[in-house]
Amino acid sequence: MKDQKDYKIETKAVQSGYTPSNGQPRVLPIYQSTTYKYDSSDYLGELFDLKVDGHMYSRISNPTVSAVEERISDMEGGVGALCTSSGQAATFISVFNITSCGQNIIASTTIYGGSTNLLAFTMKRMGIEVRFATPDMTDEQIEALIDDKTRLIFGETIANPVLKVFDIERYANLAHRHGIPLIVDNTFATPVLCRPFEFGADIVIHSTTKYMDGHASVVGGVIVDSGNFDWAANGRYPELSTPDESYHGIVYTESFGKKAYITKARTQLMRDLGMTPAPIASYILNLGLESLPLRIVRHSENALAVARYLESSDKVAWVNYPGLESSPDRDLVKKYLPNGQSGVISFGVKGGRDAAVKFMDSLRLAQIVVHVADARTSVLHPASTTHRQLTDEQLVDAGVSPDLIRMSIGIENVDDIIADIEQALIKSQK
């Protein structure tokens, strides 16, 4: 019989993380309990010393949450995972786990706006500096940003919303030459379309709010550890390779080996910061994961068909979708995303801001929402909503053109989606 770790991803999505024994519930139960019971104080003592596996308190771990962590870790090919209350919490903990005041990190400019805010403004107030690398920089230019206080490189597989594909292997090699890890936000790709560990990434994070849940039902995040980075190799990460005062002197690399990073994230940062998902949130996420391999393929097929339709329309000024033959990221797509490029497209309607607003207001099936990546087709015009206070010139500086429409293509029948877009495009030009 095959071991769980050898299953293909479609099998892991429904089988990993929870295997009931004789007479137990077939479906992962919601353990709505903050608290756990022990036969002896000695056992609880060993649990506190992290000598045995088990649950102490649901801020730190819970059986429902743990099952989902194991499932996602298996799907990414990691050694362990930590679920968080949001994607933002996952980004924060993944960086803060190995970065302190006075140190710096390198981040790609093509990352989610919320990540940019967190890294460039909020973490700056903690004394952590972010140095941004643009996709067109040479290796030498990026290496010039790295010094002995640089802790990690951070990038995003398919950037939300600019849809730029990140050259994972290139950045992994660059990071490893300098003894630092690569963290990749894999939210849009999901482990079904791309598994960054296979290209050298060390840590993967997700906003599970997007395709993993997939139904716009529950906010959440996750951090997955590949177990591949050697934190003790060069003494650069003493927080992992020397005693932790806050945990009576435990040395994570010695006690937990390949799971050092993810264990510290849980037992130290989750303990102290409490960005914990509720068991019901993990239960809902778990249901989403079961159909993720089916959904993300349909999202990708539909998005490619819509992108091709838009490209052929005389009412559309430009289309950006990594799966298009015209995409500047064609080679990166072949390498990292050969089986689909996810469901988000951006494009411009001819006639600028006014035509874009007319288009938006004429859609019937596609609904205006701020969210992306759920089963229903949705749409956002940043210039008239999230970025409405900006002038046209300021918008261009922010990388958002006045005519830019971001569309998250759902899993409806693609003919219905295209028919809706077609009638709205006609109205946009009147």
Ligand X SMILES: *Cc1c(COP(=O)(O)O)cnc(C)c1O
The binding site for ligand X (CB under 6 A) comprises: 86-88, 91, 112, 114-115, 156, 160, 185, 187, 207, 209-210, 219, 221
Residues 373/408, Cβ–Cβ less than 8 Å: yes
Smallest distance, Å, CB 161 to ligand X? 8
Q: Which is nearer to ligand X, 210 or 299 (CB)?
A: 210
Whole-angstrom distance, CA of residue 243 vs CA of residue 372: 42
Minimum gap (Å) between residue 112 Cβ and ligand X: 4
Whether the CB-CB separation of 192 and 297 falls below 8 Å is answered with yes
For ligand X, the closer CB: 91 or 268? 91
The distance of closest approach from Cβ of residue 339 to ligand X in the complex, given in angstroms and rounded to an integer, is 19
Q: How far is CA 263 from the centre of its chain?
A: 20
Angle between helices 279-312 and 414-428 (to 10 degrees): 60
Query: Residue 337 or residue 349: which is nearer to ligand X going by CB?
Result: 337
Angle at 153 between CA 303 and CA 8, to 5 degrees: 50
| Residue with Cβ nearer ligand X (374 or 403) | 374
Kindly state the tokens that stand for 113: 């706006």
**Shortest distance, position 88 Cβ to ligand X, whole Å:** 4
Element at 334 (helix H, strand E): helix 330-336
Least distance CB 299 / ligand X (angstroms): 14
Question: 50 or 288, CB closer to ligand X?
Answer: 288
Q: Pick the closer one to ligand X by CB: 215 or 236.
A: 215
Measured at CB, which residue is nearest to ligand X?
87
**Based on the number of CB atoms within 10 Å of its own CB, is 244 exposed (0-12), middle (13-18) or buried (19 or more)?**
middle
Q: How far is CA 261 from CA 269, 277, 315, in A?
A: 11, 20, 51
Q: Min. distance of Cβ 149 from ligand X in angstroms?
A: 25
CB 384 within 8 A of CB 420: no
**Amino acid letter for position 12:** K
